[in-house]
Structure formats: structure tokens, C-alpha cells
Structure 1
Amino acid sequence: MGIKVTDSWLDQASVRSGVGLDTNMGRIIFYEDKNFQGRSYETSSDCAELTSYLSRCNSCRVESGCFMVYERPNFMGHQMLVRRGEYPDNQRLMGMTMSDCIRSCRMIPMHRGQFRMKIYERENFSGQMNELMDDCDNIQERYRMSDCMSAQVMDGHWLMYEQPHFRGRMMYLRPGEYRSMRDMGTGPMDMRIGSIRRIMESC
């Protein structure tokens, strides 16, 4: 039977409330081995370095909410959105050949309000600008933009995709300013943005 390593923040929250974990809170469990075997680590918040708790991570289970998982520490490298469900093999999930390819994660808060962001053709919010409030399955076709190299997210949480129709590598954006997409640490520097989708509350 695997050994469970629980996030201390979760323990403290449960003790203070006197009840179990809030079912509206995102919750993910990482396992050292495939098929949910070996030691495990459970969290409901961001984790910049999973190897602080586990020597490796080969499977995960999302019990509630949505998370972004990353192949490198500090939310860098190849990333993938995971929703409620079971992921018995991280190699297949991430499309990687690494044996322990999840090194960090971000919890995506539920958002029930409007969605709004601005995308710019060039870095530092210059060049052609367009404002989005819903999904866009083909940026080049809809806006005639040659590229999307910076963005400002005012409301909601978004996913940018490398290809049109929400395909290829993805990049998570939360409210804030992104002066250069090339500095996001997603991997190869030539990632272009082909489509953008809102992360809805129905995770």
C-alpha cells in the first residue's frame, strides 16, 4: 500500500473547519508510479516543485477542479490541462518520453464572471490589438493577425493553443500582463498562437 504525503495547508484547513475538505476546492493527487501506485502527494494549491514531496511522478488523479501540470519545476516547460478524472500514465498524458514528467502544478480557480483579454501582434503590447470575450478557434482567420506575442488578461482564465481549433501545445494564462509570449518557458521559442479558449467552470 502506498504512503500518502498530504499538503500541510490542507491539514490545517480541515482542522480549523472541523470538517472534511471543501468539495468546491480543486484537489489533485500525484503518485510516484503508474496506475496510482507508490507514495502519493495531495494538494489543492499551486506546487512549484513536486520533487520536494515525491522522488518522481508517473500518474495522477484529479478529484475536483482543474489543474495545469508542467514538465519542469516553477511552472515551466510543456504543460497540460487536467480535469476531474484519472490519469494512470503521465507519459501518455504529457506526450513525453520522460519517466517522471510532471514537476509542478497550478490550481485553476473557478471563475463565474465575464471573460476578457487583449491580444497583441507584437511584444510589449504593440502592433495590432484585438479584444476577446469568448473562444476563438482561429486567430489568423478571424483577426488577420500575423502572430500573437503579448497579452493582457483582465478577467477569467484562458488557454492558448499552438494550432487552430484548440490543438497542439497549450499555454495557461491567468489575470495579469504578459509582455512576451516567448518568455513564458513553454519550450521551443517558435510556438505560435493559433487559437484561444476560456477555461469554464464546468471542470
Structure 2
Amino acid sequence: ASNTEDKNFQGRYYECDTDCPDLHIHLSRCNSIKVESSCWVLYERPIYSGYQYVLTKGEDSDYPRWMGYNDTICSCHTFSYCPYFQGQMMEFSDDGKSVQDKLHSPGMYSCNILEDYWTVYKHSNYCSRHYFIRPKYVHAKIALNVWSISPP
């Protein structure tokens, strides 16, 4: 991913090809980004914390285009995924304290919620940031390494 301080790919830039826990030492802000491969999660704060933005291959010339609250991006993490329900599949009808243990995979990247509403958590044992998902297909955008899942 190529991160640029100013809009429309102007100004200083820093190119990432692996995870970076502290982008702020390279750039003071990030207004445009180009993702050439894989998927990236951008974080508002260092060490992978704060608001998260998931970006797939393509260019975004201005941070509001990726729904950024501001131009502060302090860390980033790359991940590969199996979009559109490819890869290993698992059906859940009740709580799952650790999706990783059941799937033998580093995370869940797509889901199809058939009924009710579900809460997915970033860490196992129902800890940390969570997302409330209604019945629908969900591809990769909530895929920030979901570790546990539960119905309400």
C-alpha cells in the first residue's frame, strides 16, 4: 500500500509491503492511498488500535472516500481473505467462544446471517470491539479477524 500525506497522491509518501505498527514515524497524515494487492486494515492509532478502515485493491485519492473521520492513520495491517464465501465453511447456530479454534483458520472473512441478529467480536471470549450484524450477506468489510460470535 502506498500512503501519501496529501490529497490526489501529492506530497511525501511511504510504501508498505508488510504490517506497520507505527506509520506516524514516516508520515504525519494520510490523505490518499493506493492498495496494489491483498487487503489492508488502516488504524487511527499506533499499534493497531482506534478506528479501523478496511481497504481492498484500488486507489482512494481522499480520506473521506474510505469513510475516514480524519487524515490520521498511524498503523496498518495486511491480510488475505477468501471473499464471497470461498474457502472453508462453518455453520454457527449458537455461541462460539473462539471462531479460530472451530475453523482452524486465522479469522472469518465472509458471513451470511440468515435470521436474528449476531454480534461478532474481534477477540476470543467475547472481548474487545464488537460489531452488531443484521441478517444479510457480509463480505470482508467486517473481516477484521473475527474471533468469537454470538447471537443476542
Does residue 138 of structure 1 match 2:116?
no
Q: Percent identity?
A: 35
In 2: Cα distance, 1:95 partner to 1:39 partner: 19
In 1: Cα distance, 2:38 partner to 2:119 partner: 32
Could you say which residue in structure 1 is the equivalent of 2:76? 105
Structure 1: runs of 5+ lacking an equivalent:
1-27, 153-159, 182-191, 195-203
Could you say which residue in structure 2 is the equivalent of 1:121? 95
- The structure that has the greater radius of gyration is 1
- After superposition, the C-alpha distances for 1:62-106 in whole angstroms (9 at most, x for unaligned) are 12222111122111122122111111111331341x2x2322111
Do the aligned residues in 2 keep the contact of 1:78 with 1:94 (CA within 8 Å)?
Answer: no
- Once the two structures are TM-superposed, the CA of residue 147 in structure 1 deviates from its matched residue by 4.2
Structure with the higher fraction of residues in helix conformation: 1
Greater RCO (Cα-Cα under 8 Å, separation 6 or more):
2
Do the aligned residues in 2 keep the contact of 1:79 with 1:171 (CA within 8 Å)?
Answer: no
- After superposition, the C-alpha distances for 1:115-163 in whole angstroms (9 at most, x for unaligned) are 35687737xx39xxxx678843326x1xx676445649xxxxxxx8543
Could you say which residue in structure 1 is the equivalent of 2:63? 90
TM-score by length of 1: 0.51
Structure 2: runs of 5+ lacking an equivalent:
none
Matches within 5 A, 1:1-203: 28-96=1-69, 98=70, 100-109=71-80, 114-115=87-88, 121=95, 125=97, 135-138=110-113, 141=115, 147-148=119-120, 151=124, 162-164=132-134, 165=136, 166=138, 170=142, 172-173=144-145, 178=147
TM-score by length of 2: 0.65
User: Could you list the runs of 4 or more consecutive aligned residues of structure 1 that deviate by over 6 angstroms after TM superposition?
Assistant: 117-120
- Once the two structures are TM-superposed, the CA of residue 193 in structure 1 deviates from its matched residue by 8.2
- Once the two structures are TM-superposed, the CA of residue 170 in structure 1 deviates from its matched residue by 3.3
In 2: Cα distance, 1:66 partner to 1:118 partner: 25
**Code of the aligned partner of 1:121:** D
Look up the SS of the partner of 1:105 in the other structure: strand
Structure with the higher fraction of residues in strand conformation: 1
Coordinate RMSD, CA, aligned: 4.0
- Once the two structures are TM-superposed, the CA of residue 173 in structure 1 deviates from its matched residue by 0.5
